[in-house]
Amino acid sequence: MSPRYQSLKGFRDMLPEESLRWQWLEGKVRELMRRYGYGQLRLPLVESTELFARGVGEGTDVVSKEMYSFLDKGDPPESITLRPELTAGAARAWVQHEIGKNQGLTKWYYVGPAFRYEQPQSGRYRQFTTFGVELIGSPLPEADAEVILAGVDLIESLGIRNYRLRLNTLGMPEERTAYRAALLEFLNTRRNQLSQESLRRMESNPLRVLDSKKEEDVAATADAPKILDFLAHESLAHFNRVQGLLDGAGVPYVVDHKLVRGLDYYTRTAFEFQGLDLGAQDALGGGGRYDGLIEQIGGPATPAVGFGFGMDRLMIAAQAAGAIPDQQADLQVFVVGLGDAARDWAMQTTRAFRQAGIAADCDLLGRSMKAQMREANRRNARYVVIAGDNELAAGKAQVKDMQGHDQQEVELTELLNVVAARKQ
Ligand code: AMP
Task: Tell which of 320, 342, 370 closes a domain.
Answer: 320
Evaluate whether residue 142 is within a structural domain.
yes
Shortest CA distance to 28 belongs to which of 394, 298, 314, 415?
Answer: 314
Same domain membership, residue 299 and residue 418: no
Evaluate whether residue 217 is within a structural domain.
no
Same domain membership, residue 400 and residue 288: no
Q: What are the angstrom distances between the C-alpha of 164 and each of 57, 76, 83, 316, 394?
A: 28, 49, 28, 16, 67
Q: What are the angstrom distances between the C-alpha of 127 and each of 160, 312, 331, 417?
A: 23, 10, 32, 47
Same domain membership, residue 133 and residue 242: yes
Tell me if 274 CB under 6 Å of ligand 1.
no
Tell me if 130 CB under 6 Å of ligand 1.
yes
Evaluate whether residue 53 is within a structural domain.
yes
Q: Edge-to-edge strand order for the sheet containing 407-411?
A: 360-362, 333-338, 383-388, 396-401, 407-411
Distance of alpha carbon 88 from alpha carbon 4, whole angstroms = 38
Give the residue whose CA is nearest to atom 8 of ligand 1: 310
Question: What CATH number did the domain enclosing 146 receive?
Answer: 3.30.930.10
Q: Is 22 helix (H, G, I), strand (E, B) or coil?
A: helix
Distance of alpha carbon 86 from alpha carbon 112, whole angstroms = 9
Q: Which amino acid is at 375?
A: E
Q: Is 7 helix (H, G, I), strand (E, B) or coil?
A: coil
Task: Tell which of 320, 343, 359 closes a domain.
Answer: 320
Evaluate whether residue 192 is within a structural domain.
no
Shortest CA distance to 262 belongs to which of 246, 285, 296, 233?
Answer: 285
Tell me if 315 CB under 6 Å of ligand 1.
no
The CA 85 to ligand 1 mean position distance, Å, reads: 8
Same domain membership, residue 279 and residue 160: yes
Same domain membership, residue 241 and residue 262: yes
Evaluate whether residue 10 is within a structural domain.
no
Tell me if 307 CB under 6 Å of ligand 1.
no
E strand intervals along 150-208: 163-169
The CA 395 to ligand 1 mean position distance, Å, reads: 60
Same domain membership, residue 355 and residue 303: no
Give the residue whose CA is nearest to atom 6 of ligand 1: 308
Give the residue whose CA is nearest to atom 4 of ligand 1: 286
Distance of alpha carbon 276 from alpha carbon 313, whole angstroms = 11
Same domain membership, residue 272 and residue 130: yes
Same domain membership, residue 400 and residue 284: no
Which ligand 1 atom minimizes the distance to the CA of 62?
3
Evaluate whether residue 352 is within a structural domain.
yes
Give the residue whose CA is nearest to atom 22 of ligand 1: 310
The CA 316 to ligand 1 mean position distance, Å, reads: 13
Number of domains in the chain: 2
Q: Whole domain around residue 376: which residue ranges?
A: 333-423
Cis amide bond preceding 44, omega within 30: no
Same domain membership, residue 307 and residue 409: no
| Spatial CB neighbours of 20, under 8 Å, sequence gap ≥ 6 | 327, 328, 329
The tens place of each residue's pLDDT in the chain, 424 residues long, gives 678 999 999 999 999 999 999 999 999 999 999 999 999 999 999 999 999 999 888 878 888 899 999 999 999 999 999 999 999 999 999 999 999 998 899 999 999 999 999 999 989 999 999 999 999 999 999 999 999 999 999 999 999 999 999 999 999 988 988 999 999 999 999 989 989 888 888 887 888 889 888 889 999 998 999 999 999 999 999 999 999 999 999 999 999 998 987 666 789 999 999 998 888 888 999 999 999 999 999 999 999 999 999 999 999 999 999 988 887 777 999 999 998 889 999 999 999 999 999 999 999 999 999 999 999 999 999 999 999 988 999 999 999 998 887 889 999 988 988 888 765 4
pTM for the complete prediction?
0.91
Per DSSP, 298 falls in state T
Same domain membership, residue 410 and residue 375: yes
Q: Which amino acid is at 86?
A: L
Evaluate whether residue 194 is within a structural domain.
no
Same domain membership, residue 305 and residue 341: no
Helix (H) or strand (E) holding 346: helix 340-355
Same domain membership, residue 137 and residue 58: yes
Tell me if 84 CB under 6 Å of ligand 1.
no
Query: Do 222 and 257 touch, CB atoms closer than 8 A?
Result: no
Distance of alpha carbon 411 from alpha carbon 385, whole angstroms = 12
Which ligand 1 atom minimizes the distance to the CA of 130?
8
Instruction: Indicate the top mutation candidate among 130, 158, 168, 293 to test ligand 1's pocket, ranked by most ligand atoms within 8 A of CB.
Output: 130
Question: What CATH number did the domain enclosing 386 receive?
Answer: 3.40.50.800
Task: Tell which of 320, 355, 380 closes a domain.
Answer: 320
Evaluate whether residue 63 is within a structural domain.
yes
